[in-house]
Amino acid sequence: MGPAMLTMVDHPLAQHLLTSLRDRDTPPPVFRTLTRRLTLALVLEATRDLPTAPRKVDTPLEPVEGREIPTPLVAIPILRAGLGMLEAVTDTFPGVAVGYIGLERDERTLQPTSYYEKLPNLAGNHALLLDPMLATGGSAVRASASILSRGPASLRMVCVVAAPEGVRAMEEAHPDVPIFAAALDRELNQRGYILPGLGDFGDRLYGTEP
């Protein structure tokens, strides 16, 4: 698939939705709706080059040859924030299989530890890794390694906001995994949060901010 690349989804609607997500005054119910809508824009771009195959169907008037995606798609959110992106994928691709990877970040070392993993068959299938914030890149690198070890036809990462540090980590560890994001932000702070970012995505998604 070539060297890793960061594709910025700069569609006006995507940027409009991202600005509302960044707003500290956006309440959780609206935040969840905005996340689904933005994820749709990101996923459409991430799947733009999926291979298709011809398929003949009968319209009410006559036969016609169309195209379809013949290879199964697998969506894999990183728990828990990635769950906010999942519904947009399952709505868009009703036949998608879903796996889950649970990772927690040690607030002292900023390194991820795994607490749950449940993946469907990935051999020969196209996989989408969903995680709204690509910060240090630790979780993305670890999740990608687990997915790639199962032999998917391709792996694409979809995130809302990326930090340069996370993009570099993915490029070094998995140079064949393209990344699709709505923004590349400035940097990480000492706690590993993206600046300017939008805060803790999971907390804002589920209303669990202190």
| Residue 109 among the catalytic residues | yes
Catalytic residue among 52, 109, 113, 208: 109
| Residue 105 among the catalytic residues | yes
| Residue 185 among the catalytic residues | no
| Residue 203 among the catalytic residues | yes
Q: Are strands 112-118 and 100-105 parallel, antiparallel or unpaired?
A: antiparallel
What angle (nearest 5°) sits at the alpha carbon of residue 43, between those of residues 37 and 48? Answer: 135
Q: How many CB atoms lie within 10 A of CB 64?
A: 10
> What torsion, rounded to 10 degrees, do the Cα atoms 137, 178, 97, 117 define?
-20
Q: Are strands 179-181 and 187-188 parallel, antiparallel or unpaired?
A: unpaired
Catalytic residue among 36, 37, 105, 150: 105
The rounded distance, in Å, linking the Cα atoms of 95 and 120 is 13
Catalytic residue among 22, 36, 71, 200: 200
Task: Give the CA distances from residue 140 to residues 54, 65, 132, 165, 172, in Å, rounded to whole numbers and listed in that order.
Answer: 34, 39, 11, 12, 12
**Residue 112 near residue 134 (C-beta atoms within 8 A):** no
Active site residues: 105, 109, 200, 203
